Chains A and B, each alone.
Chain A
Amino acid sequence: MKDPTTARRAGRRRLGALAAGLLAAAALTVAGHPVAQAHHAHSGGSQPHLNDMHTWTPYEGIEDEHFCVQVFSGSTHAAALAAVKRALYSTGRPSWDLATTSDGATNARVDIRAKPSPCTSYPSAERSKIDFEYHVRSSNASIAACAYSDDISCVEFDRSIRSPSGSHYDFEWAYVYLDSDHLDSDQLINHETGHVLGLMDGGPRGGTWDTSCSVSLMHLPYYGCPNNNFSKPTDNDIRSVRTVIGR
């Protein structure tokens, strides 16, 4: 996902978009439409997501969704962690925390909690329990999921595991690769976090079959929905996450 408000990189963005488009087109052609199969229809179908979303405890524990921040370039750990927490916690609770909605604790299976130190500072055994990591770079030109492009943020899932219900395979870990220029955008941080929780892009230029401009943080102006300039998840997004949880 790119930042549409960053004018100074417009030329490079266009090149990045072209590269991303070519990559997506190549994937559509060569891989048998994997993008077209990536539903944002809230069915929970082929939407990769974190395994821990299916489980919860009433206290902080391994079932919660823990994240850490690692800065490689373009920022400091303190600034990047503050930016991510600002985006996720501006209301005092994580925007994606289902406990903030009316159905209360029994659906509080998304309970995002920040780890205070850089990801690589944790011993491997402890780090392995951190569900997702925000990796910050001044450019994601070295990251495949970001189409090797500057000014693009993206998500990678790792360690597939059988879901508690046995109905599908989801992922133990996810990585959000954030361009450091996106740290000032709650919209982009929450959009990428939406991917971690199983949501896909949508809109006329969203690259999925869901070309509607439904009220969603995943159907942004960048994808052809000019009125959807959200910075937080909408009720539709929370419903979508709940559907993914229910698989």
Chain B
Amino acid sequence: MGRPAVLAIGSGLAAVTVLAAVAMGAGAEPGHPEFDPDSSLLVSTRAELRICLDTHGQVDADRAATELAAATAEVGGHPDWGPSGYGAAPKVERGCPTTLPGPLDRGTVVGPGVTATPGPYRTVVVVLDGPTADRYLADAPAALLPYERMLVGEHVTATVSQAVAVRADFLGRPGFAADYLTPALGLDPARR
């Protein structure tokens, strides 16, 4: 058997091995994230509601976390909170980097965008100080934006992690919980 033939067979075996490993991995490994519209958490690998906080500009992060926790507790009174499978109001976590690519118009992605491996956070709250908010939100107190999306068809994606960008001085007001955090958690504001 000549060297080219050996190389060809070797390459073929390697390819088959790789394909088999990929096929087995794709089919057998548990815990692959899948889009799950039957769950309020939207991703099959999420087990509980988790909310993340990120800040831009001169924002008191501890105060923002406290105000966000209070707003979350307020949304906890929504009639669909329990039926959505949400338990006790989650604590506010950190560690979800966000970007501000330009004016935060409807549809502007502030996170990783399309991904096959979305993170654990159903909702990401982005708190902006006054000058930053003036620059990116214009006159709006807050905006609902995509953070992570999953491919659900060849050319179709769905947001599975919802961000809400908010002015720091609006975070503690009732309008934030009612009009922005409620829909950011997948709950209908009209039913509150």
Chain A: residues with CB nearer than 8 A to chain B? 1, 20, 23-24, 26-35, 37-38, 46, 48, 119-120, 124, 127-128, 133, 144-147, 152-162, 166-173, 175, 195, 200-201, 206-208
Task: Kindly list chain B residues whose C-beta atoms are within 8 Å of the C-beta of A200.
Answer: 153, 156
Rounded to whole Å, the gap between the CB of B157 and the closest CB of chain A is 4
Rounded to whole Å, the gap between the CB of A144 and the closest CB of chain B is 4
B106 near A160 (CB under 8 angstroms)?
no
Task: Kindly list chain B residues whose C-beta atoms are within 8 Å of the C-beta of A24.
Answer: 151, 154
B162 near A48 (CB under 8 angstroms)?
no
Task: Kindly list chain A residues whose C-beta atoms are within 8 Å of the C-beta of B34.
Answer: 31-34, 37
26 pairs across A/B with beta carbons < 8 Å? A20-B155, A30-B117, A31-B116, A31-B150, A33-B32, A34-B34, A34-B151, A38-B152, A128-B106, A128-B144, A133-B107, A144-B113, A145-B149, A146-B155, A152-B155, A155-B155, A156-B107, A157-B157, A158-B106, A160-B159, A162-B186, A162-B188, A169-B39, A169-B42, A169-B186, A173-B107
Q: Which residue of A lies closest to B142 (CB)?
A: A124
Q: Which residues of chain B (60-86) have a CB below 8 Å from chain A? A: 80, 83-84
Chain B: residues with CB nearer than 8 A to chain A? 22, 25-26, 29, 32-40, 42, 44, 80, 83-84, 105-107, 113-114, 116-117, 140, 143-144, 146, 149-160, 162, 183, 186-188
- 9 closest Cβ contacts across the A-B interface? A32-B32, A154-B155, A31-B116, A144-B114, A207-B154, A30-B116, A145-B157, A157-B158, A48-B158
B84 near A124 (CB under 8 angstroms)?
no
B106 near A201 (CB under 8 angstroms)?
no
- Determine the distance from Cα of A184 to Cα of B34 in the docked complex, in whole angstroms: 35
Q: Which of B113, B140, B162 contacts A160 (CB 8 A)?
A: B162
Task: Kindly list chain B residues whose C-beta atoms are within 8 Å of the C-beta of A146.
Answer: 155
Task: Kindly list chain B residues whose C-beta atoms are within 8 Å of the C-beta of A207.
Answer: 153-154
A32 near B26 (CB under 8 angstroms)?
yes
- Determine the distance from Cα of A152 to Cα of B80 in the docked complex, in whole angstroms: 39
- Would you call the interface of chain A mostly helix, strand, loop, or mixed? mixed
Q: From known contacts A31-B117, A31-B150, A162-B187, infer whether A173 and B106 are also in contact, taking CB-CB under 8 Å.
A: yes
Q: Which of B37, B80, B151, B152 contacts A170 (CB 8 A)?
A: B37
Rounded to whole Å, the gap between the CB of B162 and the closest CB of chain A is 7
Task: Kindly list chain A residues whose C-beta atoms are within 8 Å of the C-beta of B29.
Answer: 32
Q: From known contacts A27-B116, A169-B39, infer whether A161 and B26 are also in contact, taking CB-CB under 8 Å.
A: no
B38 near A168 (CB under 8 angstroms)?
yes
Known pairs A157-B157, A160-B162; list 4 more (Cβ under 8 Å).
A29-B26, A30-B116, A124-B143, A144-B114
Task: Kindly list chain B residues whose C-beta atoms are within 8 Å of the C-beta of A206.
Answer: 154
A166 near B155 (CB under 8 angstroms)?
no
Task: Kindly list chain A residues whose C-beta atoms are within 8 Å of the C-beta of B26.
Answer: 28-30, 32-33
Rounded to whole Å, the gap between the CB of A46 and the closest CB of chain B is 6
Q: Which residue of A lies closest to B105 (CB)?
A: A120
- Determine the distance from Cα of A109 to Cα of B92 in the docked complex, in whole angstroms: 39
Task: Kindly list chain B residues whose C-beta atoms are within 8 Å of the C-beta of A37.
Answer: 34-35
A159 near B117 (CB under 8 angstroms)?
no
Task: Kindly list chain B residues whose C-beta atoms are within 8 Å of the C-beta of A161.
Answer: 183, 186-188
Q: From known contacts A146-B155, A147-B155, A201-B154, infer whether A169 and B187 are also in contact, taking CB-CB under 8 Å.
A: no
Rounded to whole Å, the gap between the CB of B26 and the closest CB of chain A is 5
Task: Kindly list chain A residues whose C-beta atoms are within 8 Å of the C-beta of B150.
Answer: 31, 34
- Determine the distance from Cα of A190 to Cα of B149 in the docked complex, in whole angstroms: 23
Task: Kindly list chain B residues whose C-beta atoms are within 8 Å of the C-beta of A128.
Answer: 106, 144
B83 near A166 (CB under 8 angstroms)?
yes
Rounded to whole Å, the gap between the CB of A61 and the closest CB of chain B is 13
